[in-house]
Structure 1
Amino acid sequence: MNSVNELKDSVLQKEELIAAMQLVEERTATLKAIIDGSDDAIISKNLQGIVTSWNPSAERIFGYSAAEMIGEPILKLIPADRVDEESDILNRMRAGERVNHFETKRLTKNGDLIDVSLTISPVKNATGQIIGISKIARNITFLKQAEEKSAILNAIIESTDDAIISKDLNSIITSWNISAERIFGYTAEEMIGQSILKLIPTDRHQEETMILSQLKKGERVDHFETKRMTKHGVLIDVSLTISPVKDKAGNIIGLSKIARDITDRKLDEQHKNDFVAIVSHELKTPLTSIRSYIQLALTKVKKQQDGFTEDVLTRANAQTQKMGMMINDFLNLSRLEEGKMSLNTSRFLLSDLVNEVIGEARLFAPSHVIACQRCPEATIQGDREKLGQVMNNLLSNAVKYSNPGTAINIYCDREKEKVKISFADQGMGISTEDQQHLFERFYRVADGHAKNVSGFGIGLYLVAEILKLHGSEIRVHSEPGKGSVFSFELPFEPVAFSAVDASV
């Protein structure tokens, strides 16, 4: 009976041993799967610093295979100037300490230095004796690079003179730099979590809706000039550049806004415009008188058949006409800046205005061949004086930038319900880069040949603005050395289409 019981106990012990062995194997397999599947390098070494295990991520991060590293000293991965770290780590491990998230640098097989975060633990046997060291190494190179870029970006944001503000898609402010505090008067604590509408005057709230709508489409807003309110209730002029902020998937999650205080610039512009307006008004009255006297003298001289005096007075009359055009440009510029330019519309014949403009141009540019090649008998609805100024400026520019003796042709072509009016010269032409800025206020072409041409850079700006008021736009087609063609379109009422030659 005893032998039977002993046999049963023996079988039971064997079964328990087999079960325990199976559990160990399962746990070992699970642990191996975790180690092999980890994105971190998991390395074990003995107390002499010799590598005893090396997982696939260790190979991916450091470039060495397990066969190349097992049995080798861990110093193979440590830069010469950091060898002392290993001694310190070993001493701490022997004392039973654990090292958490120790950031340092290690060397790859290719000789590259990478940033790593180390978590190091002692490995103990059943009696608690330390027999080795387990090390988990995470590659944080990209994280460090991102932190460095972030630090540089933060330094730029905090040192810039512009307000840099971020907000979510509900217009709630999420960041606020020092310059935002200086410009608007509010601290970051006062503004973060508040609506951006706190800065926007009531009569401009619709701007925020318009900006959000544009940015939600992924579009950027550049140099949008408007007004904003400071903490003290003062309205200031600002130029806004606003960009969408996107996540990794490309979804728009917020907005970044750069606000530049342009109040001083606007004041300077206003003072300049006031000065120009005053001077232009003061010049216009005496110039009108001078021109009247010259025209009276011309009438008298023609009767006396004094050829020399008539020629001199004709030239003087042309110069007063040029000066009158210049004064009108300055006056219109001033009105534009103040938002006071309006149209005095009427119905008039296009061919009459073209002939009139050509006749005037021939007075101050007798050395050029100016002609209208074709012009429909069409009625235009618009501001005759201002459209005449557009044509005068385009003709004047064509004269200034082309050589004497060359032709300047005007074409009027019907295109459906519009007439296209073109001014073609045989001048020096305009580069593609200059064409992009040609209609900006005070812009002058920097080309060497153009430097000797007089002007203030406002003629083409006024052309573009007057045409905008008429619902049109100015276009240019040009190549350096091949002349230029400026054109615009206007709606018209046909009378009778015929080729009217204005050269007669």
Structure 2
Amino acid sequence: MNDEVSMSQIDTNALLEGDNFYKSLLSKLPIALYTCDKDGHILFFNEAAVELWGRKPEPGKELWCGSWEIYRTDGALMPLEECPMAIALKEGRAVHGQEIVIRRPDGSKRRVMPSPQLVFDAAGKLVGAVNMLSDITERRIVEEKMAHLAAIVDSSDDAIISKTLDGVITSWNEAAERIFGYKAAEAIGCSITMLIPPDRQDEEPKIVERLKRGERVDHFETKRITKNGKILDVSLTISPVKARDGRIIGASKILRDITQQRETERIIRDGEKLFKEQLERVVEERTAELVRTNEDLERSNHELEQYAYIASHDLQEPLRKIQTFAELLKTNAHDEAAVENYYDKINVSAKRMASLIKDVLNYSRLSKSDNVFGQVDLNQVLQDVKNDFELMIEQKKAIISISPLPVIRGDLQQLRQLFGNLLSNALKFSNHPPEIDVQFSLIELPPRKDSESHIPVQYAQITFKDKGIGFDQKYADQVFVVFKRLNNRQFYSGTGIGLALCKRIVERHGGTISASSELGKGTTFTIQLPVD
């Protein structure tokens, strides 16, 4: 306690006692200073304190500090009774190193380091305290900028090195350690020439001469050597460092390791021949693919010609009937029985034409639609199809057995249409209660001819068997032709497009469909769809 008094006992006591000489002297000091009595009432403050606070406190009434508001360095508001001066007087001890932030009435803030010092009388009794407020705002700003700059240098992927004009290394960042293998303690103080290969030592004097002229060296590509002797390809950017008076006193060097970039360029050059060979092979493959596409196009054109011929024939038939019966209606308008008969026939023909047009549109949409593939559970597909035909199944007293089916990638709606058409045919083409059996097995088949892989492909083989009217096996391929019918339309409804749709759907899924049948004993459709 006596040591604290001895530091400034005479002047602080005189100041607290109202000595005008000391007040006049201290009021002109450039550093902020104020005093409080033992209870914390502010007694005196100088002009620098008023400037720092941005206000004049009322002596004898305000406590602890004249700041408008006080904050901790973390931004939290500091209660006045917890400020350093208050702590010093309450706890009877000096407070050192507790930085605060003060806010002025105009909203501006300053960083301040208080130094509250206790004052005792001759008898050693506490009479008050004097507080000196050091404005460290500018210093903190500089420190933060320096810290930010240091963080940038340390976090850079490029080596950042400074040196004197004599080539002595003065700074060395973490990237330099990583690139060259020298720790900062090893490199600082050594000559920069330790990084230059023997056959390139003449580069340094030339670089120094340019720096002395105030020139900057941009993106100079050369080679440098690491601690373990590895030669690196590097790109250098070197700038002169100037003193306050403008003299050039050193250099700042940014070095980027471009070894990997150069290696990549070499690989590219070495790979040009291979690329050309691969390009030629790709061209050959694309040419072959184009040939296959042309073949597919020719096949499609043939199908369209066939389709157009049959469609025009089948569509003209109901249209001719409508025209014929319409003429008969006109000539027999007064015969009610004839009118009703002709009207019914026109209605039947119109419905058939509508059905034909609907199927034609379905076939056309299928040909143009994009594949929207996802994971499809065929068990759920068959269950949904059965639900759709629930009434017909009940009316025909059909017996349907289905083995567990796989999950495959496919278009859900198209697969529903596929199995819907097959179930519809099995129910329709039967003269007794239909018996339908659906079985699944996993098989392996050789890869397709247009595939680059030689690995066998797994397929889900699904057989759709019925005991219906069947057909002669020699017509097995014709059942998949658009509008081709092997049965009497008078007894069995339909447009002849259903199985053509089935074939198109299976092919769009990368599979195959075939039919085997015997007249009067039923038909088996075998579908093979890729599992993956």
Name the TM tier (shorter chain): 0.3 to 0.5
Bigger radius of gyration: 2
Greater RCO (CA < 8 Å, at least 6 residues apart): 1
TM-score, scaled relative to structure 1: 0.45
TM-score, scaled relative to structure 2: 0.43
